[in-house]
């Protein structure tokens, strides 16, 4: 019997202990054997042998139970140690986030103009009629207001329809000269594959002494900027109209999809419109009480730039939060 006491004490795992249990207490185990052998012992010794065997059986059972608890505890501890999670540990598997293509494009635009010494200004998304329209030479009831479908609040407040009011706010609070850009969200009542109710613009304004700022200056910086953004593209200026600039122009680049050959995206023209600009209208300077100055201004849609850079077909997809789409721009 002694060997079984030792075996129980020395068992190193719950599995091993289970094997021992079967060998000792099982139907064909040593105890069963001993009890069977007892039957053939002389009658006067049977009671004694039975007593002895029962004692062994009880003590072995106790030893077995005690060892089992010890081994189970040890195994549980080892298991917990192996599965422990160190939440502070650096994981190489973690996914890196990435900038949204619109923000990445915005950053690149801001980077260009910052390098050209333009200060970055922000205004208010909730604007008043004066800053968003009146001061920009868009009088009440003027049909030019139809160019921008506006979300109105009461008391002549509205969601800004463009970043141009930041020009006004800056000129109202700062003396010339001015060299600024205004990146930010703007809002219009529009929704189709090239329009969303919220999108982003970057406005630019440069003001200096009268006669110091020419259309040539404007043309130079915009051409340089567009080549920085799109690489080797052709740039052309087309006469246009904005109430706050005179003369005004829209700026096209040669189509980035077909290199000017003519395709579906550029409606077979070979050109894509990317910017509005012009020489600041004297009525705007009048509204902010600037005298003897000249300036240029421009405005662009950031989503349009992002779509052209990344070849995205539907503007709305930028705002659907679709991870599969966004992951492509990491």
The residue at minimum Cβ distance from ligand PHE is 299
Chain position carrying tokens 């002549």: 156
Q: Does 184 bind ligand PHE (CB under 6 A)?
A: no
Return the range that interacts with ligand PHE (CB under 6 A); candidates 110-118, 171-179, 206-214, 274-282: 274-282
Q: Does 294 bind ligand PHE (CB under 6 A)?
A: no
The answer for residues whose C-beta is within 8 angstroms of residue 163's C-beta and 6 or more apart is: 123, 182, 183, 184, 186, 201, 202, 203, 299
* Whole-number Cα distances in Å, 297 to 80, 91, 156, 308, 324: 66, 49, 25, 23, 38
> Minimal distance in Å, beta carbon 90 to ligand PHE?
46
Q: Which of 321, 295, 312 is nearest to 212 (CA)?
A: 295
> Minimal distance in Å, beta carbon 240 to ligand PHE?
8
Taking CB under 6 A as the rule, which mask of x and - marks residues 186-215 in contact with ligand PHE?
-----------------x------------
DSSP state of 125: S
Q: Which is nearer to ligand PHE, 11 or 253 (CB)?
A: 253
- The CA-based angle 281-283-284, given to 5 degrees, is 70
Find the length of the chain.
330
> Minimal distance in Å, beta carbon 139 to ligand PHE?
16
Cα dihedral across residues 308, 309, 311, 317: positive or negative: negative
Binding residue for ligand PHE (CB under 6 A) from 166, 293, 297, 318?
297
What pairing do the DSSP bridges indicate for beta strands 178-187 and 119-120?
parallel
Q: Which is nearer to ligand PHE, 101 or 165 (CB)?
A: 165
Return the range that interacts with ligand PHE (CB under 6 A); candidates 59-67, 151-159, 223-231, 295-303: 295-303
- Give contact residues for ligand PHE (rule: CB under 6 A): 162, 164, 203, 242, 245, 276-278, 297-299
């Amino acid at each position: 019997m002694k060997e079984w006491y030792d075996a129980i004490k020395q068992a190193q795992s719950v599995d091993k202990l289970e094997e021992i249990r079967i060998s000792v207490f099982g139907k064909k185990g040593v105890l069963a054997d001993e009890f069977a052998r007892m039957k053939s012992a002389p009658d006067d010794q049977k009671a004694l042998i039975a007593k002895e065997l029962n004692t062994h059986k009880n003590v072995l059972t106790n030893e077995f139970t005690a060892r089992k608890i010890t081994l189970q505890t040890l195994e549980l501890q080892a298991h917990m140690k192996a599965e422990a999670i160190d939440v502070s540990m650096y994981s190489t598997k973690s996914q890196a986030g990435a900038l949204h293509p619109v923000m990445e494009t915005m950053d690149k635009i801001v980077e260009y103009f910052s390098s050209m010494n333009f200060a970055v200004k922000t205004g208010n998304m909730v604007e008043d009629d004066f800053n968003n329209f009146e001061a920009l030479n868009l009088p009440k009831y003027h049909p030019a207001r139809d160019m921008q479908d506006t979300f109105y609040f009461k008391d002549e407040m509205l969601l800004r329809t463009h970043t141009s009011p930041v020009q006004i706010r800056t000129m109202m609070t700062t003396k010339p000269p001015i060299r600024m850009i205004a990146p930010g969200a703007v809002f219009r009542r529009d929704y189709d594959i090239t329009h969303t109710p919220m999108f982003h613009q970057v406005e630019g304004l440069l003001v200096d002494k009268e006669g110091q700022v020419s259309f040539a200056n404007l043309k130079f910086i915009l051409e340089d900027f567009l080549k920085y953004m799109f690489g080797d593209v052709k740039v052309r200026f087309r006469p246009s109209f904005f109430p706050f600039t005179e003369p005004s122009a829209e700026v096209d680049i040669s189509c980035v999809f077909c290199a000017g050959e003519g395709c579906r995206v550029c409606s077979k023209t070979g050109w894509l419109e990317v910017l509005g600009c012009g020489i600041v209208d004297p009525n705007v300077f009048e509204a902010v009480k600037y005298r003897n100055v000249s300036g240029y201004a421009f405005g662009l849609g950031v989503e349009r730039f992002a779509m052209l850079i990344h070849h995205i077909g539907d503007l709305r997809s930028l705002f659907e939060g679709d991870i599969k789409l966004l992951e492509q721009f990491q």
